[in-house]
Chains A and B, each alone.
Chain A
Amino acid sequence: MIEVKNVTKTYGKKNNAFVALDNVSFTIPDGASVAILGKSGSGKSTLMHAISGLDKPEKGEIIIDGKNILALNQKAIDKFRSRTISFIFQSFFVQANESCYDNVSLPLEISGTAVNRRKKRIEDALTAVELLDKKKSRARDLSGGQKQRLAVARAIVGNPRILFADEPTGNLDSATGQVVEDLLFGYNKDNDVTLIVVTHDPDLAKRCDIQIHIKDGKIESIEGNE
């Protein structure tokens, strides 16, 4: 379970201060799929960064598995990021010069997974996104959709419990976007993994269990499908 309690994030100082998140609170149950919706500049990415421990809001608590991650030290946060969560970004951020295999290997290296256990997990992840035949290809030679599938493989190889996706289909055409969406929701259902998707796309949002609407850093509404 993820509990977000009274989180406030302000950029800049004094006169220039800009409140990107204003006293935000909500709860996400384990295994849920959540869409964060809102206009550009409304604070969606900022919220995602806060929940994933990349950013430190100055006020509030974010409690995951009973621990306030905002109170953790850097070492514990790094461990939390490498073991518990994972990311997919709008612009893929795959390492163009590396092979698909090495791209997927990175999270395992960071989390300190033993060498002899890596190969099977990497190949399983590549199989899940149907890129096993490309494992030796350089990432730069892949198409946009393949790159994002590679990013999905990289995100799931470490068996995260929470998967963050910031506009995962934003740079893809709708057919390719559909494939990536299916992958994400399939992974969410099959593995009981919490999926948090930042999106503009109403159709993608509808597939989620919960929709959180944000406007000017405030929660506008929270809707559930159930």
Chain B
Amino acid sequence: MTTRDILRRARRSLAQAKVRTILTSLAIAVGAFTVTLALAAGEGGRQYTEEMVKTSGDAGSLNVYPKRIEPKNDKLTEYGTAENSPSQRNTLSESDVAKIKKIDGVANVQPIYDIQPRYVTRGDGYKKYVAAVNVKIHRTEMKLSAGSLDDNRIPIGGISVSEELLSSFGFSNATSAIGQKIIINFPKLTASGESTEESFNKTFKIAAVDHGTDATLYYQPSLNISVDDGKEVYDYQMSGSSSDKYDGVVVELKDGVDVKNAKETIAGQNYEVYSLQDIRETLLQMVNIAQWGMVAFGALAILASIFGIINTQYISVLERTQQIGLMKALGARKKDIARLFRYEAAWVGFLGGVAGTVLALLVGFANPLIAKTLGLEKGVELLVFQPLTSLILIIVMMTIAISAGYFPSRKAAKLDPIEALRTE
């Protein structure tokens, strides 16, 4: 018998036992539904995590700080005894920068300039405000409302202003702010970090207006200036003490360098190293654990449905003993009979797989609702479906169903036609 003939007969037999077919495939559908949703939620979670990481920092770079002294053997280190005790070494110097620069795979070492403005204003006749001013030292993606940044870097003499601050400065909208002047007053600092009366004004031109997203890990409305301007301000502010002391540095790695390895190498040189990559991996791991937990529930449902298929198929074989006997008497091969029942099982698996997938896709229409309930930004999709995954899942369902139908189909194939035809 040809595959087409057997498939047609299999489909007809199922159509004749509609209720039973629907119930059996429904059990599979529940499993397929759960697994599809789990995978979609996992994918959505991963994409959201990546987005979060991308807008929160550069996962390819490392933040390096002076080594902290950990308590050894549950005892605190006595002051003055350790070579690198915190008070002796709580900043990084130019020699540290040079040392780190020499490490394999390091492309650039950028000191973190912690600058302290006194006030921010648009100029004479405008109010003066207290605001956070940061030096944008890495290429973390910025979401812009207006203007543009080359390679996510602020141009020299330029500044990026958070959208939230625009109204304070009297700008009616983001576009109108571009190209406007912002003046920041920076005081000179004492060795202990206190402001002195001496200060200087620096003028910036607004190059971009940025805004946070819900995916950004820590977003604070602020003003961001370029590295070069940052260095100038830092040098000025620190000139009272020694300006070659940094709280930390950002290490940019060469393309293709393994972040983990580089991190270990630098940490091995007695530094404290943090990378966004760590956070990213932890978050992804959590998403994956949640996903596979849900998949496991789906797998349980599928396992239960296997018994349903076996049961149904056995009943079907019993009911159709006479049909099987007739087919064998007419010369049907054993393998044709086995295939007939296997294809029926495959159809059940197919129907269940498709039904479960379609139901899950329908739940996907609730994405905006989910985002709203969780207080996420508009357009964020926490359920991301992938056609290939669904296709594979349906094929897996069919394979499982066929395997479940193995014993019933073998029983059918082995029936003695004379016995089978005696039953009336």
Q: Which residues of A contact B (CB under 8 A)?
A: 49, 52, 54-55, 74-75, 78-83, 86-87, 89, 91, 93, 95, 97-98, 102, 106-107, 109-112, 115
Q: A91-B424, A109-B2, A112-B1 are in contact. Are A80 and B331 (CB under 8 A)?
A: yes
Residue of A nearest to B6 (CB): A109
Q: Which of B138-146, B173-181, B319-327 contacts A (4 or more CB under 8 A)?
A: B319-327
Contact status B322-A75, CB under 8 Å: no
Selected from A86, A93, A112, the residue in CB contact (under 8 A) with B421 is A93
Q: A49-B418, A54-B418 are in contact. Are A87 and B12 (CB under 8 A)?
A: no
Contact status B336-A110, CB under 8 Å: yes
30 A-B contacts (beta carbon < 8 Å): A49-B418, A54-B329, A54-B417, A55-B418, A74-B334, A78-B331, A78-B332, A78-B333, A79-B331, A80-B331, A81-B331, A82-B330, A87-B329, A89-B421, A93-B326, A93-B421, A95-B323, A106-B327, A106-B330, A107-B331, A109-B1, A109-B2, A109-B5, A110-B1, A110-B327, A110-B332, A110-B336, A111-B331, A112-B2, A115-B4
Selected from B16, B322, B330, the residue in CB contact (under 8 A) with A110 is B330
Cβ–Cβ < 8 Å partners of A109 in chain B: 1-2, 5, 9
Contact status A97-B16, CB under 8 Å: yes
Cβ–Cβ < 8 Å partners of B1 in chain A: 109-110, 112
Q: How far is the CB of B331 from chain A (nearest CB, A)?
A: 3
Contact status B330-A87, CB under 8 Å: yes
B325-363 interface mask toward A, CB cutoff 8 Å, 1 = contact, 0 = none? 111011111101000000000000000000000000000
Which chain B residues in 1-15 approach chain A with CB under 8 Å? 1-2, 4-5, 9, 12
Size class of the B contact interface (CB-based, 8 Å): 20 to 34
Give bound CA distance, A79 to B327, whole Å. Answer: 13
Cβ–Cβ < 8 Å partners of B9 in chain A: 109
Residue of A nearest to B322 (CB): A93
Cβ–Cβ < 8 Å partners of B2 in chain A: 109, 112
Cβ–Cβ < 8 Å partners of A54 in chain B: 329, 417-418
Give bound CA distance, A6 to B1, whole Å. Answer: 35
Q: How far is the CB of B276 from chain A (nearest CB, A)?
A: 63
Give bound CA distance, A80 to B334, whole Å. Answer: 15
Q: How far is the CB of B140 from chain A (nearest CB, A)?
A: 65
Give bound CA distance, A115 to B323, whole Å. Answer: 22
Contact status B418-A110, CB under 8 Å: no
Residue of B nearest to A90 (CB): B424
| 5 nearest CB pairs, A to B | A82-B331, A81-B331, A109-B5, A97-B16, A78-B331
Cβ–Cβ < 8 Å partners of A79 in chain B: 331
Cβ–Cβ < 8 Å partners of A115 in chain B: 4
Cβ–Cβ < 8 Å partners of B12 in chain A: 97-98, 102
Selected from B16, B325, B326, B333, the residue in CB contact (under 8 A) with A75 is B333
Q: How far is the CB of B265 from chain A (nearest CB, A)?
A: 69
Q: How far is the CB of B180 from chain A (nearest CB, A)?
A: 78
Cβ–Cβ < 8 Å partners of A102 in chain B: 12
Contact status A81-B330, CB under 8 Å: yes
Give bound CA distance, A49 to B2, whole Å. Answer: 27
Q: How far is the CB of A21 from chain B (nearest CB, A)?
A: 14
Residue of B nearest to A46 (CB): B418
Contact status B418-A83, CB under 8 Å: no
Give bound CA distance, A129 to B143, whole Å. Answer: 81
Give bound CA distance, A169 to B351, whole Å. Answer: 44
Q: How far is the CB of A164 from chain B (nearest CB, A)?
A: 10
Q: How far is the CB of B414 from chain A (nearest CB, A)?
A: 12
Give 8 A-B pairs besides A54-B329, A80-B331, A115-B4 with Cβ atoms closer than 8 angstroms.
Answer: A78-B332, A81-B330, A91-B424, A93-B326, A97-B12, A110-B327, A110-B330, A110-B332
